[in-house]
Amino acid sequence: MASSLSREEVLDELEFLATVEHALVVEYLSVFCALGHDLEADEGGATTDEGRNAASAASTLAMDEMFRLKNISFGLVDAGRFAQLGRADSISSDASAAIALGPPSAAQLERLLEREQAIAAAVDARYSRLRPAVTSNPVFEEAILDQLRRIIVDDGPTHASALAPLRDALGAVAPATLLRATRREGVDSFERRLLDVSDRSYRLVLAALQERFAPQASGSPTLAVSAMEGLDGVNRVLVQRGLLPPFTFA
């Protein structure tokens, strides 16, 4: 992507980055669950301080991504576009080949920090290339310029630095030794039903957010929050069974 971008090219890229932020919400929630959610050790939660701290850091990262997605969505709407709640399949930059996104596999979770650092670097690079369009060579005016500058300059290229708490929590400990939930297939009808309920809850969250981010802002933030709490509740039960939420995107 060239450094001199048009207004529409910047908005096109922000639409894509919104789908990347969605993918990162799923990524970090998956890590949070894999590390034991916020459960006690005897319920399937972390059994060490490193594991508990890493799970907490992953939860914070997921929350940060939710705020990024919200800010981009409202920025797109204010710029005359629609919010994008799709989910990117991969991320690449000029300096990196495509990295597959989506709920991480057990093997990817075992290389947790390496994977997250590579993804974060690629995402930050994509934001950084938009910087001239809201600084030295602005293609927006007045309030929308200030809004998108905050998204692109202040918040966008901070994914790599945001990993510091997760990196510090893991220290020299191999992530594989901290994983508490890694299964994705149910072994009986109860587990399969739980996985289905998790997916239904995920889709409900997306539907509530779609209403919330509509140009008329007709959706209630309370509904979206309630849907998220419902998803978190069922995912908590999945982790107790050693299962990861599927986050199936159809």
Of 30, 107, 70, 92, give the one whose Cα is nearest residue 217: 70
Q: How does pLDDT run across 150-203, given as a tens digit for each residue?
A: 999 999 999 999 999 999 999 999 999 999 999 999 999 999 999 999 999 999
What is the percent of the chain with per-residue pLDDT over 90, rounded to a whole number?
Answer: 90
CATH code for 7-180?
Answer: 1.20.1260
CA nearest to 102, candidates 15, 199, 184, 23? 23
Q: What share of the chain is helix, strand, coil (3-state, %, to 5)?
A: 65, 5, 30
Half-sphere exposure of 244 (CA within 13 A, CB side): 25
Cβ neighbours of residue 107 under 8 Å, at least 6 residues apart?
none
Q: Has residue 220 got a pLDDT over 80?
A: no
Q: Which amino acid, residue 5? A: L
Q: Which two tokens stand for residue 189?
A: 């009808």
How confident is the model at residue 219, as a pLDDT?
Answer: 55
3-state class of 118 per DSSP?
helix
At residue 171, φ and ψ (nearest 5 deg) are 55, -130
CA distance to 71, 139, 148, per residue, from 142 (Å): 17, 10, 10
Query: Each residue of 7-18: pLDDT tens digit?
Result: 999 999 999 999
The Cα-based distances of 190 to 96, 173, 185, 240 in angstroms read 42, 34, 11, 13
* pLDDT tens readout for residues 21-34: 999 999 999 999 99
Q: How buried is residue 216: exposed, middle or buried, by Cβ count under 10 Å (0-12/13-18/19+)?
A: exposed
In this predicted structure, which of 37-46, 47-56, 75-84, 221-230 has the lowest mean pLDDT? 221-230
Percent of the chain with pLDDT over 70: 97
Q: What is the mean pLDDT of the chain?
A: 95
The residues spanned by each domain of the chain are 7-180
